A and B are shown apart, each in its own frame.
Chain A
Amino acid sequence: MASFVTEVLASSGRLEKEDLGTKINRLSRRVEEVKGEVCDMINKKYDEFLPSMQSAEYLVTQVNNLNKDVDLLKLRIENEVQNDLKVAISEFTELKQQLEKNTIILAVLQQLQEFNSAIEKYNLTLSERNYISAAEHLEKAQSCLKTLKSRKGFELQVLKSLGIELTVQKQNMLYHLGEEWQKMAVWKLPPSKDYSSLEMILKTELHLCALPSTDESRSGPILGSVLQALAILGELNTKLKFFSQLLLNYILKPLVKYPSLHVLVESQPQGVIVRFESMKTELEHPSPPQVFMKLKLVLGLLHKHLLDAPLESQKVLEGNKVVLAEVLGDLIWEEISEAIIKDCLVYSIPTNSSKLELYEEVIKATEEFENTLKGMRYLKGDATELLKYARNVNAHFASKKCQDVIVTARNLMTSEIHNTVKITPESKVTLPKLQSPSGEKVKGQKSPSHEASALENEVKLSPHTFSLPTCRISESVEKLMQLAYQTLSEATASNPPCSIQLFYTVRNIFHLFYDVVPTYHKQNLQKLPQLSAIHHNNCMYIAHHLLTLGHQFRYHLPAPLIDGAATFVDMVPGFRRLGTETFLAQMRTQKEELLDRLSNARSFSNMEDEENYNAAHKAIRQVIHQLSCLGKVWQDVLPVTLYCKAMGTLLNTAITEMISKITALQDISTEDGERLYALCRTMVEEGPLVFTPLPEESKNKTFQQEVPVYVQKWMKFKELMIILQANLQEIIDRWADGKGPIATEFSTNEVKNLIRALFQNTERRAAALARIK
């Protein structure tokens, strides 16, 4: 209505001349309609709704009452029914439990009965010596007992005694079976436990009886049945283990170990007897094919008489088929294969590569042996330890060879140094002949030589230009070098992995030398000058060979050696250093000794004094003596040039010491001068005589004349002697304004000092001193 008023107002607002009449009519009509609706509404509410409401409420109270009655009734019924139900349930449960109990008892009784019958049958069959079924029955009884025992909360006294009974019966059966077994395989063993000696082993016998001792008709499967029964009882392994141990220790291993042992098989009606006989043989270790043959014989025998028989009867038996040979094989194979490798195959590996091809035979024999064993079912199809070992012969060969080489080398190194051989440029290590790597290369080398001849220098190098000078080296070192050459030529003839191993073994020899020799001979090398000289030569000799050793073999070795890895040149400096260090240490020792002796000469002062002179004289004699001793021990040992250098250096040390002592003197009287001159003359006369590099006395003269060349201060020493005896004018003349010999040997201060010591302070001396500048 409000909207309507609004509408009206809006329209009036616009002052439009509309028909107000129609609008008012419409309004009143509307009012009438509303009035009717309101009346209708009021009527409905008060006339119709309220009375029905009242009746409905009444009905609700009535339903509620009824409900209460129903509940009450239900409760009562429930109480009564439930009481009855409980009683019924408990009755049923009881009945059920009783039923179950009865069933169980019945089952137990049945099992007990089964057990009983099993035991009875067992007893019966055992007395009939039907071991297989006896064992089966026993097994059955045991399983019965096991099921019985597995029931919990159900302990019967009888079970315990049944258990005991079962154990007794089982032991009884085992005893019987053992008896039978012992009758069939009888060992006669040597009395002592020691089965390492051949005589003891010879007394071993094994009797195998395929037939039972008593003559019964069904003798055939008895052996099989015994073993089978043992298998069923689970005792087969222990029995066979014992048997296999005996077999291994008394038969198989001795056969592998002693080449003289042979198997003797004696057939008897009841079976066979295996015993040994000894046949003389020169072999230290048996050859593999022979060993294989013997082993095959024994194992074949066992197979035939002991293990093969039950096989057929087993086929009848379903399920647990046991291949006895397999069981035995499992037990012995590991040990016997080890023994074969250790005592037989190892020694059969050749020490020389040339014999390597012959080894093919051994490989074949090994394969055959393994195949035979597989045929007898001792071995499973995949066991090939022996063959693998034999096929790997190259590797074994290399390891063995390398081991041998290193051991030999070490023995050489620890042997005496002082057994020597003379090496001259003419002496050569006999080089193994090597094939040229390829024909083409040789041609390639030859063709340029024709052209080169035109360019060739007419002056040729001496054939000994690059050779080691004549000297003495240890015999052992020469052998060591030969060993290295041999091993390398062996390497060139071997297959690649082997030859690489051999090559590095040679390198190891030298590494070993470097470490072992200076350590092992340490004391002697320090103490004995001759040994240090020989050791020096040894090192130089090795270094000399190492220079070319790699090149000689390089093209015959496999990659990567052929590509330049085959070298020993890297070791050369080390060896030279080793040699020089040892020798220089010796030189130092000798030098110290010389200086020590000269220190007793009381600085050569006051030679007028008889005692001083004697001391100095003695010191000089000692020096000469020491030098001549050294000259003797180094004679023919050191190369001549080195000998002269060494002796020269030592003599130089002595005279340098004398020069420095004498030039340092403050005062030299005429008498002093004469005595000093006499001492120096002793040195000059006898010093050269210690130069005896060669054993032939006559040839040493040249070296003694050449002493000034080896002794650096020789001229200075001689000039000193001249000064000791000269007058002032003579000294000035020999100085010759710095152009004379004194000037080349002495400094101005030294000469001035000597002049002051020798001459009294006069004008002439002052004039002379002034000339020295």
Chain B
Amino acid sequence: MEEDILTTLKILIIGESGVGKSRTISLHFFNTIGELGSVDFKVKTISVDGNKAKLAIWDTAGQERFRTLTPSYYRGAQGVILVYDVTRRDTFVKLDNWLNELETYCTRNDIVKMLVGNKIDKDNREVDRNEGLKFARKHSMLFIEASAKTKDGVQCAFEELVEKIIQTPGLWESESHNRGVRLSDEAGGRGGTCSGYCSML
């Protein structure tokens, strides 16, 4: 059953804490909730247009609270799903930061991005659909809105994302040639209020 798989794709799920990444997405796929403090990871085989692809899905499972994800999290990713909470504008505003971090750590620049506005079943919506769409277009991302009740939408989203990745052959075929020079694996980019204080460890 493994032989007919076209490729294995690394997909990241990122976004602010509490936007319901694990709940909405992981739950639909895997029926589990990630453990805090470790990268939650699942493998899923998906079929798109008769092509079978294995998805290695990385969920931060709360790590984003620690301000930064380790660079290894981003390394070699081919697709990313950015999630925000339509009832909390701050999670939408923070998307810029996430895009920024993505650009900083991703080893490739043609990574396929999808924006997911979550929790549309709630009443107190703060971010308009059009707003999300506009933002997605601006950054050339795929866009859907979803909720705990719209499992199909999420499934669709994954399929759409995989399709887009497969349609970008350079992204998955020559992955091992396109990495360029890596100077350091663990380049620690921790900001903070370091003044004259010596960073030594």
Contacts and interface: CB of A to CB of B under 8 A. Distances in A.
Contacts of B67: 709
B196 interface: yes
Contact of B43 (A572, A587, A707, A736): A736
A465 B196 CA distance: 10
Interface string A709-732: 100100100100000000000000
B117 interface: no
Interface residues of A, number: 43
B201 A579 contact: no
A597 interface: no
A739 interface: yes
Contact of B197 (A584, A639, A738, A744): A639
Contact of A543 (B39, B41, B192, B196): B196
A739 to B, nearest CB: 4
Interface residues of B, number: 34
Contact of A741 (B8, B58, B66, B193): B58
B195 A467 contact: yes
B66 A708 contact: yes
Interface in B177-201: 186, 190, 192-201
A465 B66 contact: no
Contacts of B199: 645
Contacts of A736: 8, 10, 41, 43, 54, 56
Contacts of B58: 741
B201 A642 contact: yes
A737 B66 contact: no
Given A705-B36, A718-B38, A579 B198 contact: yes
B194 A641 contact: yes
A464 B193 CA distance: 7
Contacts of A46: none
Nearest to A729: B43
B56 A739 contact: yes
Contact of B66 (A642, A649, A706): A706
A734 B41 contact: yes
Q: Count chain A CB atoms within 10 A of each CB in B36, B38, B192 and give the residue with the most.
A: B38
Q: What does DSSP make chain B's interface, helix, strand, loop or mixed?
A: loop
Contacts of A544: 195-197
Find the residue from A544, A648, A708, A744 having the highest chain B CB count within 10 A.
Answer: A744
B195 A715 contact: no
B197 A469 contact: yes
B196 A737 contact: no
Interface string B27-63: 0000000001111010100000000001010100001
A709 B195 CA distance: 21
Contact of B196 (A540, A706, A707, A734): A540
A545 to B, nearest CB: 9
Interface stretch (B69-77, B119-127, B143-151, B152-160): B69-77
A715 B38 contact: yes
Among B43, B70, B199, B201: residue with most chain A CB under 10 A: B201
Contact of B193 (A469, A579, A706, A744): A469
A4 interface: no
A739 B76 contact: yes
Contact of A547 (B66, B186, B196): B196
B97 interface: no
A186 B72 CA distance: 103
Given A645-B201, A706-B66, A740 B196 contact: no
B65 interface: yes
A708 B56 contact: no
B104 interface: no
Interface string A523-567: 000000000000000001001100100000000000000000000
A576 B197 CA distance: 9
Interface string A472-513: 000000000000000000000000000000000000000000
Residue of B39, B76, B198 with most partner-chain A CB within 10 A? B198
A733 B57 CA distance: 11
22 contacts: A468-B195, A469-B193, A469-B194, A540-B196, A572-B196, A583-B200, A642-B197, A642-B201, A645-B200, A646-B201, A649-B201, A705-B66, A706-B66, A707-B37, A708-B70, A709-B66, A737-B8, A739-B56, A740-B56, A741-B39, A741-B58, A744-B72
- 4 smallest A-B Cβ distances: which pairs? A736-B56, A737-B8, A739-B56, A645-B201
Interface of B: 8-10, 36-39, 41, 43, 54, 56, 58, 63, 65-68, 70, 72-73, 75-76, 186, 190, 192-201
Given A468-B195, A739-B76, 16 more contacts: A467-B195, A468-B196, A572-B196, A580-B198, A642-B201, A707-B37, A709-B67, A712-B186, A715-B38, A734-B43, A737-B56, A739-B8, A739-B56, A740-B56, A741-B58, A745-B72
